[in-house]
Amino acid sequence: MAGGVVHGLGKRDGAMKFEGLLWWILFLPLGAAVWITLRTLKNPGRSAALSIGAALASFVLAVIFWAANGWTTGQVSVSWWRIGSWTASFDLRVDPLSLLMLLVVTGVGSVIHIYSVGYMRGDPGYARYFACLSLFLFSMLGIVLAGNFLQMFVFWELVGVSSYLLIGHWFERPAAADAAKKAFLTNRLGDLGFLAGILVLQGVAGTLDFGRLEETWPEQVSALGATATVVGLLIFCGVVGKSAQFPLHVWLPDAMEGPTPVSALIHAATMVAAGVYLLCRVFFLFTPEALMVVAWTGGLTALLAASIAVQQNDIKRVLAYSTLSQLGYMVMGVGLGGPAAAMFHLVTHAFFKALLFLGAGSVICALHHEQNIWRMGGLWRRMPVTFWTFLVGTLALAGAWPLSGFFSKDALLAVAWGRSLPLFVLGVGVAVLTSFYMFRLVWVAFGGPARSEAAAHAAESPQGMLWPLRLLGVLSVVAGVIGIQPVLQAILPGLEGSHAASWWGRLMEPFHHAPVPAAAGLAALLIGVGLAWKGYAGGAEDPVPNRWPVLGRWLRDRFYLDELYEGTVIWFHDAWARVVAGVERWVLNGFCLGLVRGGTDLLGQSLRLLQSGNLQTYALVFVVGLALLLWWTLGG
Amino acid sequence: MGPWSEKEAMTALGWMVLVPLLMAVAVLCVPQSAPRAPRLLTLTALGATLLLALRVFVGFESAPADADGYRMVTEIPGLGAPALGIRCRLGVDGLNVGLLLMGALVGLAAAACAREVQTRTKEFYFLLLLMVGGILGAFASLDLFFFYFFHELALVPTFLMIGLWGRGTDQAAVAYQMTLYLTAGALVALIGLIALYLQVPPELRTFDMPTLSRYFREHPLPPEVQGWIYPLLLFGFGVLVSLWPLHSWAPPGYAAAPTATAMVHAGVLKKFGLYGLLRVGQPWLPEAAADWAWVVAWLALGNLLYAGWAAMQQRDLGRLLGYASVAHMGFVFLGLAAGNAMGMTGAVVVMVAHGLLAAVSFALAGHLYQQTGTLEMGQMGGLARRMPFLGAALTMAALAGCGLPGFANFIGEVTVFLGAWQVPELRVVTVGGLWAALVVGAIYMLRAVRAILHGPPGIAGASGRDIEGGWERWPHAMLLAGLLFLGWLPQVLVGKVEPVAARMVQREPTGVLAPGLEVEGKALTFPAAAAEGRLREVDSVWTGDGGIRQGPGM
């Protein structure tokens, strides 16, 4: 990177303290990944230590930076490559949004790194796993700190590759290898729109820098007309891919083929949230029409995924569809003009969803990789820590007061209540379904009698896996009231309220500020719990397939959307490929080259006739040729 | 009289071209009793060449530039016919310095990966050295005659190499087809070059390319003359670069070629045609280049999508890589068609990046063929377990091939897209390029990885071994390191290429200016639109200070 230029751009503050720390935060995980790949692949313990060390160091440095600077704004820029007066620059952008995300990513990331030590013990690809995990952390931090669209795209793709490598960690399993390929290709479809949007944006705005765009875009919007909406929608394509919104959601459930810590980190807490983060980052770019598309896409995804989750029997698939549904919620929140609420839910969701996945991992490990909930049961007594933390996570997800999920979900519902009644009703409906399928999961997996040998002999996981659960459990409880809302409220629209100083005031805030959504949320929770209790507590099998077989089948088979993709997108490409192969064989190689070959042959054969070996023929040709020559020179 | 009246000293550049050629002769003289000698001599020579190429590349900025912008200008004494105006002069500028370094890297790696050749090794290494020396000379040449001569010197050995050491059942037929096709293309280009030479008045005629450049700048040829010469160059050089639909020689040729030949041909030789278009076609025939730009763009789309789709159907890794290399040339043609500094700079970066990528891909395929006896992907599977290094390297090559950031290919491709997007007429093609790069490229590369490396073990490869030890791994590591280095520190290359590209474009009358040039309040037009009397609105114009000004529509 030539010519380092360090300056503190920003709306408020001047230079930041300890700017160099940002480079360390970003590149330490990359250093770990490279070192492990080159030097310590044969040494699992050292690889894990390097990887965890880098993650923790990044977290500590992030905390130090935040402590020294507070919620500041600034940017560190380096020129990357230059053509004429156009520069691709490598920026590290700091503002409250990226600082918050930085703390969440490094914090949750470190916790999951530590958890992986226990989960992946004995795996032959242990060192490779940690190298890929570090690569992922580097890429994710690059997204968080990116200061312009080109850099964002670079790290967007790198995160996609890390995901590919980690989903396909057990690559000898066909299901895992196929899932990795599917994830990458589906993301690429979204990235196609994303890159097209970047090109259009460069063309109409002349810059890709977030700060400069934020300053100049509002003036340009009126002049641009429909182009402004198109730009927003194209950028949204990237979000649809990365955050698994309908119709590019099909890769996320399959991604559960990867190790469970990977599912927790990448496919719940951080990578899939990158789409929502981008939406909040460039919220100013979206016109009201674009936002409407965004909101309805989010809402539809939330409803679709929650419905499918109702009939899934693999513990990780339930959580995967739950993640899809919550991401839909967040996207819907942004679309309704409440990006702050969406970011708030993103942060709380990172805590409790990671907790739920890690808890699921604990169960899976204890039951020797059994993932079907109907072969579990009775675990609440045999694995108490796992059970209680999982229950806390479930309550947080379902929106029980006073856990963090209540506050963030209420913020989203409040935004919907204020802007769009249909989406509010949809949101409450999804909340009912969420509560229903999560408690179905809890009653079936943890409650009732043990339904298999493995479940009967399950033992609690080692402490190395339990402490992350406890820590995330605490965070899931308190994250609603530790002061995240004011930070977000200051930079993005969508969170209202006075945020009283006293604890009780903060806990009761939603009821004062927007009582209807708060009450509706709690009612949804109770209805869901009740229905789940009625259907599943103590039962030995799922009652839905018997009572409503057709509905059950559609839900279980995910509305046949995967098959639809198979039939259309894949088929389309393969059909064209066959046409092309045919043209290659028959037209270009067969006909054209054949013509050349045949023509040359023909020419050769006919000329050969002149070499007849017959003296008379030669004499004739000689005389005829001479005559022609004379006629040409003397005559015509 | 002339700029070369004093003898120019032999520089690193001159030795870089001479060493492989001289060593080729030396290899022929090696007695039969020393079977390992040809390989050792070749590796030494090409190692020295690489060091010299690095010296040229690193010392590029500090070397003084002559009046035409060339540095380290060297004349190799003894070659050429001064009476006819032919002198063997070599020089570097931003356009060829990256290609020379890439050529040297690929040449050395190819020699290292030629372990599979066990019969008649002397002849094989002789031909390989001729190839490398020839193509380096072609890139570095400042004389039109030697430009063409060195290329032919590099091309003819491929015929022998495929015919004698090739793979598969009908390698003789493939060798014939490929060589005849390429020679026909070179012939068409030669006609164009001779036509250009003859356009100069007899008293000024010379083969010296900088002089001719200056001449054509000051006395541009009339558009009608340009109009028939440019297509000759375009399609002649196009065949050499596998421009669609003249690409049929590539997939069977690369599938049948021995590893080293495929590496050098796909990596380096193929770029000669594009280099010719950039060096000769664009600057000497600017109006024709602008008129034909839309043809080039749509043919580029053919490369990108058609070859990409064809690649999806391939079951043989060699043919898949052949089609993939055809597809990547589409990016370079798109950059060429854009006709602005960004497009051209991106095109050169793609050329360098693809050279390294093609070399490492064919090297890995070569190892697979040696170990498993086949390149049928359906018979492989799960090889990442048995061959972890090959697995990692092949995965990296596959990802680089579908334009993953972090590798040099992404830098080139994104620059080409940004450059092409500035030209409204090329936007449809650019979107097609995006689709080809992001989606189609990923589909066939990931399917290949899935079939070869992932999943349960297949029939082939049950007994194969990995690329083991530093001795075998270093060529692949070197090429991948090159891709990563240029992917993260692209300014090293872009900084050299960009001034040349900007200068080439400044003289373009097309109206799409290089960023950084002032507009002086005039509306920008595209020639076709101007001819119709309508002025088009251009989205934005970059002024020297990095700000934007909206193009006024009239």
Q: Residues 208-227, chain A: which have Cβ within 8 Å of B?
A: 223
State the pLDDT confidence band at A602, using cuts at 50, 70 and 90.
confident
Q: Which residues of B touch A227 (CB under 8 A)?
A: none
Q: Which residues of B touch A589 (CB under 8 A)?
A: 248
Q: Residues 304-363, chain A: which have Cβ within 8 Å of B?
A: none
**Residue B165, φ and ψ in degrees, nearest 5:** -115, 15
Specify whether the CB–CB gap between B523 and B504 falls below 8 A: no
Task: Give the Cβ contact number of residue A12 at 10 Å.
Answer: 9
Predicted local distance difference test score (pLDDT) of residue A94: 92
Strands B86-92 and B71-81: antiparallel
State the pLDDT confidence band at B538, using cuts at 50, 70 and 90.
very low
Token readout for B226 is: 């340009």
Predicted local distance difference test score (pLDDT) of residue A5: 38
Which of A416, A384, A396, A378 shows the shortest CA–CA distance to A472? Answer: A396
Helix A44-69 with A96-119: angle, nearest 10 deg: 160
Helix B441-452 with B317-338: angle, nearest 10 deg: 160
Find the DSSP H helices in B78-201.
94-112, 121-140, 144-165, 171-199
Instruction: Name, of A17-26, B55-64, B390-399, the range with top average pLDDT.
Output: B390-399
**Model confidence at B553: pLDDT above 80:** no
Specify whether the CB–CB gap between A386 and A379 falls below 8 A: yes
Instruction: Chain A: give the shortest CA distance to residue B549, in Å.
Output: 9
- The shortest CB-CB distance from A577 to any of B313, B414, B548 is to B313
- The helix/strand/coil state of A344 is helix
Taking the C-alpha atoms of residue A249 and residue B489, their distance in angstroms, rounded to an integer, is 35
User: Which helix or strand (DSSP H or E) is residue B347 part of?
Assistant: helix B341-372
Strand partners, A87: A82
Specify whether the CB–CB gap between B404 and B410 falls below 8 A: yes
Check CB contact under 8 Å for A177 and B310. no
Predicted local distance difference test score (pLDDT) of residue A608: 80
**Model confidence at B535: pLDDT above 50:** no
Check CB contact under 8 Å for B404 and A177. no
**Model confidence at B517: pLDDT above 70:** no
Helix A273-281 with A339-366: angle, nearest 10 deg: 170
Check CB contact under 8 Å for B406 and A579. no
- The residue of B61, B180, B331, B454 whose CB has the most chain A CBs within 10 angstroms, and thus the best one to mutate to test that interface, is B454
User: Which helix or strand (DSSP H or E) is residue A618 part of?
Assistant: helix A615-634
Taking the C-alpha atoms of residue B241 and residue B249, their distance in angstroms, rounded to an integer, is 10
Specify whether the CB–CB gap between B86 and B50 falls below 8 A: no
State mean pLDDT over A110-127: 91
Taking the C-alpha atoms of residue A253 and residue A260, their distance in angstroms, rounded to an integer, is 12
Residue type, A286: F
SS (H, E, C) A444-484: HHHCCCCCCHHHHCCCCCCHHHHHHHHHHHHHHHHCCCCCH
Check CB contact under 8 Å for A82 and B434. no
Check CB contact under 8 Å for A84 and B498. yes
> What is the distance between the terminal CA atoms of chain A, rounded to a whole angstrom?
74
Specify whether the CB–CB gap between A360 and A352 falls below 8 A: no
**Model confidence at A521: pLDDT above 60:** yes
* Residue position matching structure tokens 């071994």: B465
- The residue of A83, A169, A570, A580 whose CB has the most chain B CBs within 10 angstroms, and thus the best one to mutate to test that interface, is A83
- The shortest CB-CB distance from B439 to any of A82, A188, A205 is to A188
- The shortest CB-CB distance from B431 to any of A172, A196, A584 is to A196
Which of A288, A87, A254 shows the shortest CA–CA distance to A176? Answer: A254
Predicted local distance difference test score (pLDDT) of residue A37: 92
B245 vs A177, more confident: A177
- Please write the tens of the pLDDT for every residue from A10-40: 344 456 778 888 999 999 999 999 999 998 8
Q: What percent of chain B has pLDDT over 70?
A: 89
Chain B contact present for A178, CB below 8 A: yes
Taking the C-alpha atoms of residue B226 and residue B211, their distance in angstroms, rounded to an integer, is 18
Average pLDDT of chain B, as a whole number: 85
A8 vs A192, more confident: A192
Q: Which residues of A touch B515 (CB under 8 A)?
A: 83-86
Check CB contact under 8 Å for A158 and B406. yes
Task: Give the Cβ contact number of residue A381 at 10 Å.
Answer: 11
State mean pLDDT over B128-153: 94
Closest-CA residue of A relative to B392 is: A37
Predicted local distance difference test score (pLDDT) of residue A169: 95
Q: Which residues of A touch B548 (CB under 8 A)?
A: 205-207
Q: What percent of chain B has pLDDT over 90?
A: 57
Token readout for A364 is: 């899976």
Specify whether the CB–CB gap between B16 and B100 falls below 8 A: yes
Lowest mean pLDDT among A45-49, A388-392, B513-517: B513-517
Q: What is the interface pTM, i.e. ipTM, of the complex?
A: 0.87
State mean pLDDT over A311-338: 92
Which of A98, A106, A81 shows the shortest CA–CA distance to A10? Answer: A98
Q: What is the DSSP letter of A84?
A: T
Closest-CA residue of B relative to A175 is: B455
**Model confidence at A2: pLDDT above 50:** no
B509 vs B411, more confident: B411
State the pLDDT confidence band at B81, using cuts at 50, 70 and 90.
confident
Specify whether the CB–CB gap between A74 and A92 falls below 8 A: no
Closest-CA residue of B relative to A150 is: B414
Residues 6+ apart with CB under 8 A from B188: B232, B235, B236, B239
- The residue of A42, A79, A81 whose CB has the most chain B CBs within 10 angstroms, and thus the best one to mutate to test that interface, is A81
Closest-CA residue of B relative to A152 is: B405
Residue type, B226: Q
Specify whether the CB–CB gap between B522 and B361 falls below 8 A: no
Instruction: Chain A: give the shortest CA distance to residue B481, in Å.
Output: 12
Taking the C-alpha atoms of residue A392 and residue A471, their distance in angstroms, rounded to an integer, is 12
- Please write the tens of the pLDDT for every residue from A228-282: 899 999 999 999 999 999 888 889 989 999 999 999 988 878 888 899 999 999 9
Token readout for A123 is: 């795996």
- Please write the tens of the pLDDT for every residue from A183-195: 999 999 999 999 9
Q: Which residues of A touch B540 (CB under 8 A)?
A: 203-206
> What is the distance between the terminal CA atoms of chain B, rounded to a whole angstrom?
51
**Model confidence at A596: pLDDT above 90:** no
State the pLDDT confidence band at B328, using cuts at 50, 70 and 90.
very high
Predicted local distance difference test score (pLDDT) of residue B6: 39
**Model confidence at B50: pLDDT above 70:** yes
Predicted local distance difference test score (pLDDT) of residue A498: 64
State mean pLDDT over A209-234: 88
Predicted local distance difference test score (pLDDT) of residue B234: 94
Q: Residues 550-609, chain A: which have Cβ within 8 Å of B?
A: 573-574, 576-581, 583-584, 588-589, 592-593
Predicted local distance difference test score (pLDDT) of residue A229: 92
Specify whether the CB–CB gap between A417 and A501 falls below 8 A: no
Residues 6+ apart with CB under 8 A from A493: A283, A337, A338, A339, A340
Chain B contact present for A175, CB below 8 A: no
Q: Residues 350-389, chain B: which have Cβ within 8 Å of A?
A: 382, 384-385
Predicted local distance difference test score (pLDDT) of residue B511: 39
Predicted local distance difference test score (pLDDT) of residue A62: 94
Strands A74-83 and A86-94: antiparallel
State mean pLDDT over A133-154: 95
Strand partners, A209: A148
Q: Which residues of A touch B405 (CB under 8 A)?
A: 153-155, 157-158
User: Which helix or strand (DSSP H or E) is residue B89 part of?
Assistant: strand B86-92
Predicted local distance difference test score (pLDDT) of residue A488: 85
Average pLDDT of chain A, as a whole number: 87
Q: Which residues of B touch A181 (CB under 8 A)?
A: 446-447, 449-450
Specify whether the CB–CB gap between A178 and B400 falls below 8 A: no
Q: Which residues of A touch B384 (CB under 8 A)?
A: 171
Q: What is the DSSP letter of A286?
A: -
A120 vs B3, more confident: A120
Q: Which residues of A touch B546 (CB under 8 A)?
A: 85-87
This prediction has a pTM of 0.89
**Burial (CB count within 10 angstroms: exposed 0-12, middle 13-18, buried 19+), residue A122:** exposed
Predicted local distance difference test score (pLDDT) of residue A394: 94
SS (H, E, C) B258-297: CHHHHHHHHHHHCHHHHHHHHHHHHHHCHHHHHHHHHHHH
| E strand map for A17-66 | none
**Model confidence at B516: pLDDT above 50:** no
Chain B contact present for A508, CB below 8 A: no
B488 vs A594, more confident: B488
Predicted local distance difference test score (pLDDT) of residue A619: 87
Taking the C-alpha atoms of residue A24 and residue A54, their distance in angstroms, rounded to an integer, is 10
B434 vs A370, more confident: B434
Lowest mean pLDDT among A190-194, A586-590, B211-215, B390-394: A586-590
Closest-CA residue of B relative to A577 is: B309
Predicted local distance difference test score (pLDDT) of residue A361: 92
Taking the C-alpha atoms of residue A278 and residue A561, their distance in angstroms, rounded to an integer, is 27
Instruction: Chain A: give the shortest CA distance to residue B518, in Å.
Output: 11
Check CB contact under 8 Å for B455 and A171. yes
Check CB contact under 8 Å for B446 and A185. yes
A19 vs A164, more confident: A164
Instruction: Chain A: give the shortest CA distance to residue B494, in Å.
Output: 7
Output the CA–CA distances (angstroms, integers) from residue B94 to B70, B208, B495, B497, in the order listed.
9, 18, 8, 4
Taking the C-alpha atoms of residue A97 and residue A488, their distance in angstroms, rounded to an integer, is 7
Show contacts of A11-14: CB within 8 Å, 24+ apart.
A11/A73, A12/A72, A12/A73, A13/A72, A13/A73, A13/A74, A14/A74
- Please write the tens of the pLDDT for every residue from B368-393: 998 888 888 888 888 888 888 999 99
Predicted local distance difference test score (pLDDT) of residue A539: 67
- The shortest CB-CB distance from A192 to any of B395, B434, B457 is to B434
